[in-house]
Amino acid sequence: MTSYMFFLHRGKKETKMGTVITTLSSQDLSTLGLVIVTLILSYYFYARTSSKQHYPRGPPTIPILGNLPQLLMAKDTNMIYFLEDSRKKYGNVFTIELGGVKRVVICSYEIVQELFSKHANISSNRKTDSMPETYSKLAEVTPGIFWAKYPHWKTLRSFALSTLREEGMGKSHLEPRIMHEIHAYIDHFITPHVGQPINLSDSIMLATANVMSSMIHGHRKDYTDTNFLYWMRQFRISIKSATKAAIARNIPFAAYFPGDFTGVKADRKAGEVTIPEVMKEVEAHKANLDPNNLVTYIDKFLYHAQEKKDGENLFTDGNAGITMLNLYAAGTETTSTALTWAILYMCAHPDVQVKVQEEIDNVLGTNEVRYQDRFTLPYTEAVILETLRLGNIAPMALPHTLEEEYTIDVLLLKAVQKIHLIVILQTLPAGCELMINMASILWDEEVFEEPNKFKPERYLNGDVTLKKTRTLAFGTGRRACLGEGLARMELSLFLTTFMQRFKVSLPTGHIPNLNGVCSIVNAPAKFTVIFTER
Instruction: Return residues touching ligand HEM (CB under 6 A).
Output: 145-146, 157, 164, 326-327, 330-331, 334-335, 338, 393-394, 397-398, 473-475, 479-483, 486-487
Cβ 350 to ligand HEM shortest distance, Å? 24
* Closest to 297 (Cα-Cα) out of 318, 280, 279, 282: 282
Residue number, 255 or 438, with CB nearest to ligand HEM: 438
Residue number, 364 or 388, with CB nearest to ligand HEM: 388
Beta carbons of 304 and 159 less than 8 angstroms apart = yes
Q: Does the bond joining 69 to the residue before it have cis omega, within 30 degrees of 0? A: no
Phi-psi region of 410 (alpha: psi -120 to 50; beta: other; left: phi over 0): alpha
Cβ 331 to ligand HEM shortest distance, Å? 3
Helix (H, G, I), strand (E, B) or coil at 80: helix
Helix H or strand E encompassing 188:
none
Cβ 339 to ligand HEM shortest distance, Å? 8
Cβ 164 to ligand HEM shortest distance, Å? 6
How many CB atoms lie under 10 A from the CB of residue 324? 25
Cβ 481 to ligand HEM shortest distance, Å? 3
Residue number, 146 or 228, with CB nearest to ligand HEM: 146
Residue number, 220 or 264, with CB nearest to ligand HEM: 220
Cα–Cα distance, 116 to 480 (Å, whole number): 9
What is the full DSSP assignment across 10-42? TT-SS-TT----EEE-HHHHHHHHHHHHHHHHH
Cβ 34 to ligand HEM shortest distance, Å? 53
Residue number, 338 or 385, with CB nearest to ligand HEM: 338
Query: Rounded to the nearest 10 degrees, how much is the dihedral formed by the CA atoms of 73, 77, 78, 84?
Result: -140
Question: Closest CB to ligand HEM belongs to which residue?
Answer: 483
Cα–Cα distance, 509 to 337 (Å, whole number): 24
Residue 481 annotated in ligand binding: yes
Residue number, 74 or 480, with CB nearest to ligand HEM: 480
* Closest to 138 (Cα-Cα) out of 262, 273, 321, 267: 321
Residue number, 254 or 299, with CB nearest to ligand HEM: 299
Question: Could you give the C-alpha distances from 274 to 129, 286, 432, in angstroms and in order?
Answer: 20, 19, 30
Cβ 329 to ligand HEM shortest distance, Å? 8
The number of residues in the chain equals: 534
Beta carbons of 444 and 451 less than 8 angstroms apart = yes
Residues belonging to the binding site are 481
> Where is the binding site for heme, in residues?
481
